[in-house]
Structure 1
């Protein structure tokens, strides 16, 4: 960069939202006004170009954002690193990765639909990583748009302390701009692309409404800031600087969510939002970050965005390009220059930085050095997503890894031709590296390759990418749901393993009980308690018992899926001086689990999805009927502006083919989104049917 790097003039922000709330359209406007692009292209572009931030062919065709694109823009002497994230629930790992490395975010909401299911998911992720946010209510040019209703939904549904920071000048086809409640000025966009912003006095018919909402804003600020609080009590008017400082404090401390509004598509309200990013979102120096010091028993240490301190950078995203692997990195401490040697703290390998680039969607600009607080990309570095990099010969750090959700759906895949086998395995290897939620394993019994992921669309995209990027046609099996098995009662085990085969034999005895394990805070599904006293089993064999039970839980006998929610207690046992060994105790424990399992009343669990279906009012009956047919439970129905949103919980196994059925029932006007909610016990008749199918499959495999 030609200008001096000043961390106080840097903002690392993301744009997160529900699919179709206009997130990529907003990014496109930010790039245009920030001087990065010279023409605006729409998402499902009539001009055949597609949005700049959607660089994958698939994204442009489907009009959805799959991989989060990173780019940098300039606005009023500040640098904004912007990350556009996917809104579709199947790509939540992309959102998680972006939020992990951001200092702030804009939560984009549709002015008509308001808070939707994916907005709730994104909000939960923002809370997990403590990301301060501004809300932008978009699409105010649409019929039925109401930013005040959306602000209320942020309070009711997301439990955010939301408050209007702007009010709109007109709605629907009358939407002209916004009133800033801090400066008490009106901002109207003019010019063919809204690039001219005029600051005017507030229209006479809005003065009273603006005063009322400003009073509410200052009242909320009085709760988070002492200066404004004192003036509020004294009934004095705080200055613009005091109000801005109070909003900034509330946002950074996660105590306030100011609401801005406009229409990105109609170029309204975008520049005031860019100003708000500078005024209210934190600099890299204002957000506390921690790492674990690997040279000092993994002690938790605070990182400082100081260029002179030891390097600590996180690889948060990988992408294959025609030039090799591109690794996106956030530098938390220190700096990286071209030609430096950096160490991957996961495998302790040192690598040379051959090329350092700044990304702009899929275009790149070579740079020599990158400093603390920046987000950049490196070429020619082999690593996995979530790895930490440090300077060679300096302190080694590890940053906490990203939260990776469990897969809920699997497919058997195979290359159509023998010639495609090589490319097939290359593709799987690449996808696995760049996406931790894409899992691959080989089923030993059926000898099939199984891919697992976050939903049908997630896996469809990868199958399509195999075809396009690797010229590999694949045969796809029926989707498989990730069932689980568990126990519902306590049961005792007492098992002796004896084997005499000349020379030293095998002997181990284990006695204890298994019981259901309630949900654990850390998400663990297995617990082992050693209650043996008096050396009845030597200490060195106790881990073997734990191992044996754990291993037996990887594949349940009912339908071959993992057993979860089990607590094992080891109370007693015995051993033989010569014949007992680690392996003998492991075998005894595995056999004990097989023997006791049927006595603990085992059941099958299935993944339940939270489904949100939006249909025109006249189709409400058929939408509800379809959900009921699929063993769904209706949680809530909300009507707004001629549409109905039906929220329900439905077993994933019943959801295959739902999009086709919904389209035909609503003449193509219905939309839905779903995400994993929880595991529930399957009804008895479904359990019997699943067990029967599993037995038949095993019989067929024997023949």
Structure 2
């Protein structure tokens, strides 16, 4: 049976993090992603202490993320390696270590509060590392939720060009779905979380959706030369051109695609996953990494499984069987029962046979290089 996490090509890999202010619903978004992708059979809940990524007893007691946690899932033929990062200001170092190894990120915002202080902090950290982002405005079912106000706060406080590609259907406790402004279709969810993505736009939102789509096209045309050419020639942008331009703008950091939903109620998670695949970069889309070899010489490595190994150890966990080291593999392939050195004079680490049952690492995968241990 084929492993759904197996990636045939680096083009089908996404290495991303979830960033947010504390209590914006970041861990709930992560848990719903794991549930939607079939990685877990039950929804993990922060208030019940049943989440996958908040595994430490302190995290479960306090209901907050303290340690960055890495998990993997599969969606639409792609492997997604995901790091759930802390949102509390006291744990910014965990966020910094994670950003160093990410290719992209999802920034989660509270639909009522909009941009909050730690939202700004992690956004600036991501700016320093050049990490492309998309935004997810969460908790659209809460009293006072306002997508337009949240988008305005992103524009005013974070200073990118926010491009909302969805329009909410309903508000607060009547929030039932979104209008996809690219396909001009409605996506609605039942109370059980079942999605219908083939519904027409509701009559009462048809004109608003048309105006929002036109505004989206005009804004993208102003930012993207290729889109501008088509817009000037035809007066509009095709769905393919618009999607390609949004991807380019996201990669360059010139704009941020904005989606919305309610993760707790399982509304908006599937289109968020689709947006991760559509707009965030694969390892092949990011610049080559620069580093130092064992002789102290400078090296430049692009993502290539056949190239010499280049990896960064970004996190170490103490476990009952020893220390488990998390690696970001930039090039090459990690094999079991192999020893690797670290430049320039550090002791080598080993990939022991005792962990041979775990899958070996491949270029661009973020997460524990399975079986990697150190004395």
Q: Shared fold (TM-score greater than 0.5)? A: yes
| Secondary structure at the counterpart of residue 259 of structure 1 | strand
1:97-125 C-alpha deviation (Å, 9 max, x unpaired)? 11111110000000000100000000000
2:354 and 2:23 map into 1 onto residues whose CA distance is 34
Query: Structure 1: where are the runs of 5+ without partners?
Result: 358-364, 384-703
| Secondary structure at the counterpart of residue 70 of structure 1 | strand
Q: Out of 332, 335, 349, which is 1:334 matched to?
A: 332
| Secondary structure at the counterpart of residue 39 of structure 1 | coil
2:173 and 2:7 map into 1 onto residues whose CA distance is 44
Higher RCO, Cα 8 Å, sep 6+: 2
Identify if the C-alpha distance between structure 1 residues 356 and 108 changes in structure 2 by more than 3 Å, giving closer, same or farther.
Answer: farther
Tell me the equivalent position of 2:373. Answer: 381
Tell me the equivalent position of 2:222. Answer: 223
2:320 and 2:219 map into 1 onto residues whose CA distance is 52
1:256 and 1:342 map into 2 onto residues whose CA distance is 40
2:100 and 2:20 map into 1 onto residues whose CA distance is 16
2:223 and 2:74 map into 1 onto residues whose CA distance is 31
Q: Out of 18, 21, 28, which is 2:21 matched to?
A: 18
Tell me the equivalent position of 2:183. Answer: 183
Tell me the equivalent position of 1:90. Answer: 90
Tell me the equivalent position of 1:32. Answer: 35
Deviation at 1:225, TM superposition (A): 2.5
Residues 151 and 162, structure 2, Cα contact 8 Å, conserved in 1: yes
Deviation at 1:237, TM superposition (A): 2.8
Tell me the equivalent position of 1:493. Answer: none
Number of aligned residues = 371
| Secondary structure at the counterpart of residue 328 of structure 1 | strand
Residues 289 and 330, structure 2, Cα contact 8 Å, conserved in 1: no
Deviation at 1:297, TM superposition (A): 6.1
Tell me the equivalent position of 1:141. Answer: 141
Structure with the bigger percentage of strand: 1
What does residue range 116-131 of structure 1 map to in structure 2 within 5 Å? 116-131=116-131
Deviation at 1:302, TM superposition (A): 3.0
| Secondary structure at the counterpart of residue 369 of structure 1 | coil
| Secondary structure at the counterpart of residue 227 of structure 2 | helix
Residues 310 and 330, structure 2, Cα contact 8 Å, conserved in 1: yes
1:650-685 C-alpha deviation (Å, 9 max, x unpaired)? xxxxxxxxxxxxxxxxxxxxxxxxxxxxxxxxxxxx
1:327 and 1:221 map into 2 onto residues whose CA distance is 42
1:290 and 1:325 map into 2 onto residues whose CA distance is 26
Identify if the C-alpha distance between structure 1 residues 129 and 140 changes in structure 2 by more than 3 Å, giving closer, same or farther.
Answer: same
- Provide the aligned C-alpha RMSD in A: 1.9
Residues 136 and 259, structure 2, Cα contact 8 Å, conserved in 1: yes
| Secondary structure at the counterpart of residue 263 of structure 2 | coil
Residues 305 and 332, structure 2, Cα contact 8 Å, conserved in 1: yes
Q: Does 1:367 align with 2:358?
A: yes
Deviation at 1:355, TM superposition (A): 5.7
Deviation at 1:381, TM superposition (A): 2.4
Deviation at 1:346, TM superposition (A): 4.4
Residues 342 and 348, structure 2, Cα contact 8 Å, conserved in 1: yes
Identify if the C-alpha distance between structure 1 residues 207 and 355 changes in structure 2 by more than 3 Å, giving closer, same or farther.
Answer: farther
Identify if the C-alpha distance between structure 1 residues 4 and 22 changes in structure 2 by more than 3 Å, giving closer, same or farther.
Answer: closer
What does residue range 203-222 of structure 1 map to in structure 2 within 5 Å? 203-222=202-221
Residues 7 and 78, structure 2, Cα contact 8 Å, conserved in 1: no
1:30 and 1:371 map into 2 onto residues whose CA distance is 23
Deviation at 1:228, TM superposition (A): 1.6
Residues 356 and 369, structure 1, Cα contact 8 Å, conserved in 2: no
What does residue range 503-542 of structure 1 map to in structure 2 within 5 Å? none
1:1-54 C-alpha deviation (Å, 9 max, x unpaired)? 744531010101110000000000111100001111111131011xxx422211
2:12 and 2:345 map into 1 onto residues whose CA distance is 35
Deviation at 1:191, TM superposition (A): 6.0
What does residue range 686-697 of structure 1 map to in structure 2 within 5 Å? none
Larger Rg: 1
1:315 and 1:30 map into 2 onto residues whose CA distance is 26
Query: Structure 2: where are the runs of 5+ without partners?
Result: none
1:5 and 1:236 map into 2 onto residues whose CA distance is 39
2:194 and 2:99 map into 1 onto residues whose CA distance is 29
Deviation at 1:167, TM superposition (A): 1.2
Deviation at 1:196, TM superposition (A): 3.2
Identify if the C-alpha distance between structure 1 residues 337 and 296 changes in structure 2 by more than 3 Å, giving closer, same or farther.
Answer: closer
1:237 and 1:290 map into 2 onto residues whose CA distance is 39
1:37 and 1:203 map into 2 onto residues whose CA distance is 33
1:249-298 C-alpha deviation (Å, 9 max, x unpaired)? 00001111011001101111110111000000000110113223446764
Identify if the C-alpha distance between structure 1 residues 197 and 27 changes in structure 2 by more than 3 Å, giving closer, same or farther.
Answer: farther
Residues 350 and 374, structure 2, Cα contact 8 Å, conserved in 1: no
Deviation at 1:367, TM superposition (A): 2.8
TM-score, normalisation: structure 1? 0.51
Q: Out of 23, 41, 44, which is 2:44 matched to?
A: 41
Identify if the C-alpha distance between structure 1 residues 88 and 210 changes in structure 2 by more than 3 Å, giving closer, same or farther.
Answer: same
Residues 288 and 302, structure 1, Cα contact 8 Å, conserved in 2: no
TM-score, normalisation: structure 2? 0.94
1:321-354 C-alpha deviation (Å, 9 max, x unpaired)? 1121111111001010111121111434333211
Tell me the equivalent position of 2:303. Answer: 305
1:29 and 1:61 map into 2 onto residues whose CA distance is 20
1:219 and 1:340 map into 2 onto residues whose CA distance is 54
2:85 and 2:344 map into 1 onto residues whose CA distance is 27
Residues 338 and 356, structure 1, Cα contact 8 Å, conserved in 2: no
Identify if the C-alpha distance between structure 1 residues 259 and 95 changes in structure 2 by more than 3 Å, giving closer, same or farther.
Answer: same
What does residue range 338-487 of structure 1 map to in structure 2 within 5 Å? 338-354=336-352, 366-377=357-368, 378-379=370-371, 381-382=373-374
1:128 and 1:119 map into 2 onto residues whose CA distance is 14
| Secondary structure at the counterpart of residue 313 of structure 1 | strand
| Secondary structure at the counterpart of residue 72 of structure 2 | strand
1:41 and 1:349 map into 2 onto residues whose CA distance is 39
1:127 and 1:211 map into 2 onto residues whose CA distance is 33
